């Protein structure tokens, strides 16, 4: 369970440790579910500082993905970092202006419940690790734009489809000149 019970962190000296293997079967990114090949594991610690709960930890998994260039299935290992500060939100009071250490944390989240759910933090930490371009290898040659053949497996490929298209075109232009 990725839940922190705020009450369990009453004392500043206590630290909560969450070590879990999450039962997620798929993980969604780029608007599509991706198969989880190696379970998502988390190791998170939480402690209190005044009214704030400071959360730190790691996440890791291996997802199934496809190469953006050649569409080959591949394994995408991800190692995420979790770092967030939860500030008590009191609807009756205006939020206190941040000072000192708080500024070091980019991820400031307000909580008002007695429980803090860390699911979003884990998802976030993994999403941040997904590269802009997923490639099976740095120099992936991709696929032939005409017939879709994998150019990594067929580096000498000369596409018959384009030559046929070209041949048709030239025949057509000959006809045109003949008509004139
Ligand atoms: Zn590729
Ligand atoms: Zn081709």
pLDDT tens for the 180 residues of the chain, in order: 899 999 999 888 889 999 999 999 999 999 999 999 999 999 999 999 988 999 999 999 999 999 999 999 999 999 999 999 999 877 676 655 555 555 555 688 888 888 999 999 999 999 999 999 999 999 999 999 999 999 999 999 999 876 555 555 555 555 555 554
Distance (Å) from CA 133 to ligand 1 centroid: 10
Which ligand is closest in space to the CA of residue 164? 2
Distance (Å) from CA 151 to ligand 1 centroid: 9
d(CA 117, CA 44): 12
DSSP for residue 120: H
Tell whether 7 and 86 lie within a shared domain: yes
Distance (Å) from CA 74 to ligand 2 centroid: 23
Specify the pTM.
Answer: 0.79
Tell whether 151 and 121 lie within a shared domain: no
Question: How many domains in the chain?
Answer: 2
Helix (H/G/I), strand (E/B), else coil: 100: helix
Distance (Å) from CA 40 to ligand 1 centroid: 25
Domain of residue 7: give its range. 3-127
d(CA 143, CA 152): 8
Distance (Å) from CA 154 to ligand 2 centroid: 10
Tell whether 59 and 85 lie within a shared domain: yes
């Amino acid at each position: 369970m990725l839940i922190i019970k705020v009450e369990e962190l009453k004392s500043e000296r206590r630290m909560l440790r969450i070590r879990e293997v999450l039962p997620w079967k798929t993980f969604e990114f780029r608007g599509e579910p991706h198969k989880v090949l190696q379970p998502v594991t988390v190791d998170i610690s939480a402690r209190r500082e005044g009214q704030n709960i400071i959360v730190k930890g790691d996440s890791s998994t291996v997802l199934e993905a496809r190469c953006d260039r050649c569409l080959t299935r591949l394994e995408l290992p991800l190692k995420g970092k979790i770092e967030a500060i939860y500030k008590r939100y009191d609807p009756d009071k205006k939020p206190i202006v941040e000072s000192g250490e708080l500024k070091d944390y980019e991820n400031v989240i307000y909580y008002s419940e007695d429980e803090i759910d860390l699911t979003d933090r884990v998802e976030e930490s993994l999403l941040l690790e997904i590269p802009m371009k997923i490639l099976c290898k740095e120099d992936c040659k991709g696929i032939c734009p005409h017939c879709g053949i994998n150019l990594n497996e067929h580096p000498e490929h000369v596409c018959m489809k384009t030559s046929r298209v070209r041949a048709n075109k030239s025949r057509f232009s000959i006809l045109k000149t003949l008509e004139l």
